[in-house]
């Protein structure tokens, strides 16, 4: 069996910590690239302040000193060369060329050097990538788009050749031309301009390859992952194909920003959690609850229930990302209204690092960075202050180090042992690794709780506090605003899978299985089929996903070693050769909220349909090109039960496929046109309008003849 050298904690995202950096505000490593739109005094928050990739490289030792293993850098692509609405694109979210690096930040060579230098320190680079939109449509450079320096179009020129898609009713070309998002749901959410930003039509084949090639320039240059901006505003089906194409080169850690401040049942995020779970997201909906409970008032017991509920949505709660501060929200220390805000910040920071999920530390959290000039965007992006000697830095470093060695932090479950208004104890277990986080935000208390840990005295990782366990009872003293972390690491006897990276895959793709007790070698089965093992050690196995004959969404992954088999882990399986396909159904006789579910892995879990203005229901799904399939129709909301309508429709995968009542013949399917030539689709049995339509035409014809004769 091939033995792999330990590749560093960063290969398994759950064993690491992410450090989020706004490049312009971190460190100026090259003063020659600062102009134009530069404010050397750092007073105007909407201008460039000088930070760049060379600055990042210079500060890698500092970043490493915090114990983190991944850096998420703000978008590096070339942004517009003009001001728009009084702001320069210092933040990087106003791209004009997805094949080039912004000249204020550096060059592709600088980026590759960053990756190399970071790697030497056990750190990998995750790049923020923005495929939803380019730049402001009505100001600045008006949505100007370049392909490695060659002008392609801008929003106005593009509008001239835009047409209405007969299926979706969307006005589109390279961009969508449907105004700004005013209704934050349904079609406008995905097909209109977000805050006036020129919205891409990802189903346009040129846009599709351009955005994919742009992302591959980063992953091909060594980035280990991407943070995808504004996933709420794109079709999930397109994103799934986009991710699969990137994953097909190597295992990557890709996560999305789905902006939603609370878990709303009306959000399509709820449907995404409940059914698809195809890609990790930032845990934005729980962040405000955490800040309120620690920064203002609120019950820890309530918080514990909110969080347990939230994490239960996910197949892989441990691969979602927790954060306290970000570039879009008011920093905790700017928001908290308490004399003990710093103590509470320490508690909230420790919580963020011990909950299920990968912690994200926003630059300057370790040095209590705040803005005196204001609160949210852009004031949550002050110039970095470097200080790794603080208590906050100590918490980050200690818990980042513990995360490398204690798999309960990386992969453990989540169980509240005790909770009241001001005290909360939760336990996390992964095989023989255990962890107990205990906190108290009220008056000092002596706490005794049920805990089935071996008898003994345990020492907290953060402050050295003691906990005595005897006969299944744990007792400890908790001061005001205290947070303690107790842990156990024992040898794991049975093979145990903690995670798959990524957990969505198609045949031929490599996935990294992480866990414990894997021994020196063995076998891996995916959906019952033996997978080719590429490397193996006791905590990580790299395999190639085999082709599996299945119609299921999730396949079992099992590790067998030394005569022992692991419990199955779940892999979201795709058939392979997937394209983003627009699936549509004629809506003439259909109403309400509809879903489809079909006989391919990609369609095994229900997908919600949107109703177009042109009398279709549609969705975009990743589907294996050139394959026949059938779907059933369902009705219901994403939070209720779905009811089958007992209707089966058939189609053949193409970029646009209208599913029909009749099974398509093999000949028809070979030459299926990209756009349907007929709009007749399935009606519930007995409601096909065709006979009526023909009768109406005949009647009309007869009436016309009579009328003509009379005239």
Is 172 a residue that touches Ca ion (CB under 5 A)? no
Is 93 a residue that touches ligand NOJ (CB under 6 A)? yes
Q: Quick check: 94 and 134 in contact, CB under 8 A?
A: yes
At a CB cut-off of 8 Å and minimum separation 6, what does 665 contact? none
Cβ closest to Ca ion, residue 50 vs residue 522:
50
| 199, interface contact from Ca ion, ligand NOJ, none, CB < 5-8 Å by kind | Ca ion
**Looking at 517-615, which runs of residues are DSSP E strands?**
523-526, 529-530, 532-536, 540-544, 554-561, 564-565, 569-573, 578-586, 594-598, 607-608, 610-611
| 93, interface contact from ligand NOJ, Ca ion, none, CB < 5-8 Å by kind | ligand NOJ
Q: Quick check: 634 and 594 in contact, CB under 8 A?
A: yes
Q: Quick check: 68 and 123 in contact, CB under 8 A?
A: yes
> What long-range pairs does 187-194 form, CB within 8 A, spacing at least 24?
187/610, 187/612, 189/232, 189/233, 189/268, 190/233, 190/234, 190/235, 193/133, 193/137, 194/132, 194/133, 194/230, 194/233
Is 110 a residue that touches Ca ion (CB under 5 A)? no
| 605, interface contact from ligand NOJ, Ca ion, none, CB < 5-8 Å by kind | none
Q: What is the DSSP letter of 334?
A: H
Helix (H, G, I), strand (E, B) or coil at 437: strand
| 52, interface contact from Ca ion, ligand NOJ, none, CB < 5-8 Å by kind | Ca ion
| 229, interface contact from Ca ion, ligand NOJ, none, CB < 5-8 Å by kind | ligand NOJ
* Interacting residues with Ca ion between 211 and 250 (CB under 5 A): 233
Q: Considering the complex, what minimum distance in angstroms separates the CB of residue 360 from ligand NOJ?
A: 12
Helix (H, G, I), strand (E, B) or coil at 163: strand
Is 28 a residue that touches Ca ion (CB under 5 A)? yes
Cβ closest to ligand NOJ, residue 135 vs residue 499:
135
Q: Which positions are catalytic? A: 229, 257
| 34, interface contact from ligand NOJ, Ca ion, none, CB < 5-8 Å by kind | Ca ion
Is the dihedral angle over the CA atoms 636, 637, 642, 646 positive or is it negative? positive
d(CA 343, CA 391) in angstroms, rounded, equals 10
d(CA 221, CA 114) in angstroms, rounded, equals 10
Q: Considering the complex, what minimum distance in angstroms separates the CB of residue 35 from ligand NOJ?
A: 23
* Interacting residues with Ca ion between 175 and 194 (CB under 5 A): 190
Q: Considering the complex, what minimum distance in angstroms separates the CB of residue 328 from ligand NOJ?
A: 5
Structure tokens at 77: 């692509």
Cβ closest to ligand NOJ, residue 110 vs residue 229:
229
d(CA 51, CA 508) in angstroms, rounded, equals 40
Is 228 a residue that touches ligand NOJ (CB under 6 A)? no
Q: Considering the complex, what minimum distance in angstroms separates the CB of residue 197 from ligand NOJ?
A: 6
**Burial status of residue 484 (CB atoms within 10 A of its CB: 0-12, 13-18, 19 or more):** buried
Q: Which of 71, 130, 231, 623 binds ligand NOJ (CB under 6 A)?
A: 130
Is 199 a residue that touches Ca ion (CB under 5 A)? yes
Cβ closest to ligand NOJ, residue 327 vs residue 433:
327
Q: Which of 116, 264, 328, 413 binds ligand NOJ (CB under 6 A)?
A: 328
* Distances in whole angstroms, Cα of residue 145 to Cα of each of 205, 540, 697: 16, 42, 49
Q: Quick check: 633 and 649 in contact, CB under 8 A?
A: yes
At a CB cut-off of 8 Å and minimum separation 6, what does 322 contact? 283, 286, 287, 352, 353, 355, 357, 358, 359, 360
Q: Considering the complex, what minimum distance in angstroms separates the CB of residue 373 from Ca ion?
A: 22
d(CA 90, CA 28) in angstroms, rounded, equals 13
Length of the chain: 711
Q: Which of 229, 267, 335, 540 binds ligand NOJ (CB under 6 A)?
A: 229
The torsion defined by the Cα of 245, 248, 249 and 254, in degrees rounded to 10, comes to 70
Cβ closest to ligand NOJ, residue 130 vs residue 223:
130
**Burial status of residue 349 (CB atoms within 10 A of its CB: 0-12, 13-18, 19 or more):** buried
Cβ closest to ligand NOJ, residue 232 vs residue 344:
232
Q: Are strands 607-608 and 594-598 parallel, antiparallel or unpaired?
A: antiparallel
Contact letters for ligand NOJ, residues 245-284 (x by CB under 6 A): ------------x---------------------------
Q: Which of 176, 327, 381, 441 binds ligand NOJ (CB under 6 A)?
A: 327
Rg (CA), the chain: 27
Q: Count residues binding ligand NOJ (CB under 6 A).
A: 7
Q: Considering the complex, what minimum distance in angstroms separates the CB of residue 233 from Ca ion?
A: 4
Is 90 a residue that touches ligand NOJ (CB under 6 A)? no
| 335, interface contact from ligand NOJ, Ca ion, none, CB < 5-8 Å by kind | none
Cβ closest to ligand NOJ, residue 257 vs residue 335:
257
Phi, psi dihedral angles at 37 (to 5 degrees): 60, 45
Q: Considering the complex, what minimum distance in angstroms separates the CB of residue 290 from ligand NOJ?
A: 19
Q: Which of 9, 230, 252, 594 binds ligand NOJ (CB under 6 A)?
A: 230
Q: Considering the complex, what minimum distance in angstroms separates the CB of residue 141 from ligand NOJ?
A: 16
Residue range at the interface with Ca ion (CB under 5 A); choices 51-59, 159-167, 417-425, 476-484: 51-59
Q: Considering the complex, what minimum distance in angstroms separates the CB of residue 238 from Ca ion?
A: 10
Residues that bind Ca ion (CB under 5 A): 28, 30, 33-34, 50, 52, 132, 190, 199, 233
Residues that bind ligand NOJ (CB under 6 A): 93, 130, 229-230, 257, 327-328
């Amino acid at each position: 069996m091939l033995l792999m050298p330990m590749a560093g904690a960063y290969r398994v995202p759950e064993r690491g910590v992410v450090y989020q950096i706004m490049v312009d505000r971190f460190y100026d490593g090259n003063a020659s690239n600062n102009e134009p739109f530069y404010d050397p005094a750092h007073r105007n928050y909407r201008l460039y302040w000088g930070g760049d990739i060379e600055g990042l490289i210079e500060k890698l030792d500092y970043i490493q000193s915090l114990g983190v293993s991944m850096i998420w850098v703000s978008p590096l692509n070339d942004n517009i060369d003009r001001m728009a609405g009084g702001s320069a694109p210092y933040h990087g979210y106003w791209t004009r060329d997805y094949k080039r690096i912004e000249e204020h930040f550096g060059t592709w060579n600088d980026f590759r050097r960053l990756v190399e230098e970071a790697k030497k320190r056990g750190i990998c680079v995750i790049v923020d990538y923005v495929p939803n939109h380019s730049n402001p449509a009505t100001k600045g450079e008006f949505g100007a788009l370049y392909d490695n320096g060659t002008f392609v179009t801008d929003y106005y020129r593009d509008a001239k050749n835009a047409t209405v898609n007969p299926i979706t009713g969307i006005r589109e070309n390279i961009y969508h031309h449907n105004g700004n998002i005013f209704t934050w749901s349904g079609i406008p959410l995905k097909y209109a301009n977000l805050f006036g930003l020129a919205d891409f039509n990802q189903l346009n084949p040129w846009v599709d390859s351009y955005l994919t090639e742009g992302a591959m320039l980063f992953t091909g240059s060594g980035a280990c992952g991407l943070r995808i901006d504004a996933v709420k505003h794109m079709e999930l089906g397109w994103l799934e194909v986009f991710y699969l194409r990137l994953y097909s080169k190597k295992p990557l850690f890709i996560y999305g920003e789905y902006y939603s401040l609370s878990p709303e049942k009306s959000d399509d995020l709820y449907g995404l959690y409940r059914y698809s779970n195809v890609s990790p997201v930032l845990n934005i909906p729980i962040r405000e609850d955490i800040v309120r409970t620690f920064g203002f008032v609120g019950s820890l017991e309530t918080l514990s229930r909110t969080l347990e509920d939230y994490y239960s949505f996910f197949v892989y709660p441990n691969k979602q990302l927790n954060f306290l501060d970000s570039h879009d929200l008011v920093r905790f220390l700017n928001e908290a209204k308490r004399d003990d805000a710093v103590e509470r910040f320490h508690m909230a920071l420790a919580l963020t690092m011990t909950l299920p999920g990968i912690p994200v530390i926003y630059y300057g959290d370790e040095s209590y960075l705040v803005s005196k000039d204001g609160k949210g965007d852009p004031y949550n992006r002050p110039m970095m202050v470097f200080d790794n000697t603080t208590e906050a830095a100590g918490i980050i470093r200690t818990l980042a180090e513990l995360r490398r060695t204690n798999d309960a932090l990386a992969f453990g479950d989540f169980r509240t042992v005790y909770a009241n208004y001001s005290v909360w104890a939760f336990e996390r277990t992964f095989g023989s690794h255990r962890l107990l986080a205990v906190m108290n935000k009220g008056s000092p208390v002596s706490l005794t709780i049920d805990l089935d840990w071996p008898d003994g005295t345990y020492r907290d990782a953060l402050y050295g506090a003691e906990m005595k366990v005897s006969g299944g009872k744990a007792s400890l003293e908790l001061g005001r605003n205290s947070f303690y972390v107790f842990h156990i690491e024992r040898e794991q006897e049975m093979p145990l899978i903690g995670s798959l990276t990524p957990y969505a895959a198609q045949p031929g793709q490599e996935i990294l299985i992480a866990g414990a007790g894997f021994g020196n070698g063995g076998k891996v089965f995916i959906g019952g089929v033996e997978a080719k093992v590429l490397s193996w050690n006791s905590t990580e196995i790299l395999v190639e996903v085999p082709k599996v004959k299945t119609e299921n969404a999730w396949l079992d992954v099992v590790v067998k070693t030394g005569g022992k088999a692991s419990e199955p882990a779940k892999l979201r399986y795709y058939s392979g050769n997937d394209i983003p396909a627009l699936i549509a159904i004629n809506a003439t006789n259909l109403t309400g909220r509809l879903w489809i579910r079909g006989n391919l892995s990609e369609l095994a879990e229900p997908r919600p349909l949107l109703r177009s203005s042109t009398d279709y229901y549609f969705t975009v799904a990743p589907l294996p090109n050139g394959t026949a399939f059938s779907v059933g129709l369902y009705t219901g909301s994403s939070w209720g039960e779905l009811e089958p309508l007992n209707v089966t429709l058939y189609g053949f995968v193409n970029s646009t496929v209208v599913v029909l009542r009749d099974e398509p013949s093999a000949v028809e399917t070979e030459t299926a046109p990209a756009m349907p030539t007929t709009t007749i689709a399935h009606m519930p049995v007995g409601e096909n309008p065709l006979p009526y339509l023909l009768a109406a035409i005949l009647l009309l014809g007869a009436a016309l003849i009579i009328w003509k004769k009379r005239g």
